[in-house]
């Protein structure tokens, strides 16, 4: 099966990585820093998601992204945590923009997430990659990542994969 890729930024990349690792059809989430072009050419925390479009659609991935970070909050850390979808093609960019517009009616406040063309990626240090999978009981994970995973389990139960959830760690122990 051929994989499609898209990148997402919005909050801490540890959180974003864990969110997408918990979904069926996502084969890989590369945690690091993504840059776009022009005024968005600086690097911002993000994750490149490699997925099987036959199993999980771009629409579902975008909806998950919008519901698991502050997609309507233009806070002071937005340079480091740009609320973004980074596209790998013009057609993906157009599809993502249309999907964002369609999701707006589900939110009381304006979605600030923007669609940018992908330009560059720098991976996080190895010690931080797969952070949640390596450290599910750490305070950061229990305080910030687990609530996002609960949203996914509640709102997207058909797409939850045990490999990226707390249950998978409890099963292994």
Residue-level pLDDT at 148: 96
Q: What is the pLDDT of residues 49-72, one digit of tens each?
A: 999 999 999 999 999 999 999 999
Q: Which of 24, 7, 23 is nearest to 123 (CA)?
A: 7
Per the listing, tokens 């994750």 go with: 47
Residue-level pLDDT at 162: 63
Q: Is 12 a catalytic residue?
A: yes
Q: How confident is the model at residue 78 (pLDDT cuts 50, 70, 90)?
A: confident
Query: Mean of the pLDDT values across residues 137-152?
Result: 96
- What is the domain class of 4-172 according to CATH? alpha beta
Q: Which of 89, 81, 25, 17 is nearest to 48 (CA)?
A: 17
Residue of 6, 7, 12, 49 marked active site: 12
Q: Which residues contact 24 (CB under 8 A, 6 or more apart)?
A: 55, 56, 159, 160, 161
Q: Is the pLDDT of residue 173 over 50?
A: no
Q: What is the pLDDT of residues 15-44, one digit of tens each?
A: 999 999 999 999 999 999 999 999 999 999
Tokens of 54: 């036959």
What pTM value is reported for the model?
0.91
Q: Which residues pair with 114 in a beta bridge?
A: 84
Q: What is the pLDDT of residues 103-119, one digit of tens each?
A: 999 999 999 999 999 99
Cα 114 to Cα 8: distance, rounded to the nearest angstrom: 10
Q: Which of 65, 105, 59 is nearest to 82 (CA)?
A: 65
Average pLDDT, the chain: 92
Q: What is the pLDDT of residues 83-98, one digit of tens each?
A: 999 999 999 999 999 9
Instruction: Please report, for the chain, the start and end positions of each structural domain, with discontinuous segments joined by +.
Output: 4-172
Q: What are phi and psi of 93, to 5 degrees?
A: -60, -45
């Amino acid at each position: 099966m051929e994989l499609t890729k898209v990148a997402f930024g919005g909050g801490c990349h540890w959180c974003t990585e864990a969110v997408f690792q918990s979904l069926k059809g996502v084969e890989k989430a590369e945690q690091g820093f993504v840059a776009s072009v022009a005024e968005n050419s600086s690097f911002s925390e993000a994750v490149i998601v490699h997925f099987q479009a036959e199993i999980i659609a771009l629409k579902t991935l975008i909806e998950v992204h919008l519901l698991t970070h502050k997609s309507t909050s233009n806070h002071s850390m937005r340079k480091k945590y740009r609320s973004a979808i980074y596209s790998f093609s013009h057609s993906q960019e157009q599809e993502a923009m249309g999907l964002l517009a369609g999701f707006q009616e589900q939110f009381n406040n304006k979605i600030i997430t923007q669609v940018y063309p992908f330009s560059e990626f720098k991976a996080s240090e190895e010690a931080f990659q797969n952070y949640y999978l390596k450290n599910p009981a750490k305070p950061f994970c229990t305080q910030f990542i687990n609530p996002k995973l609960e949203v996914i389990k509640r709102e997207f139960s058909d797409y939850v994969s045990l490999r990226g959830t707390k249950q998978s760690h409890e099963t292994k122990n």
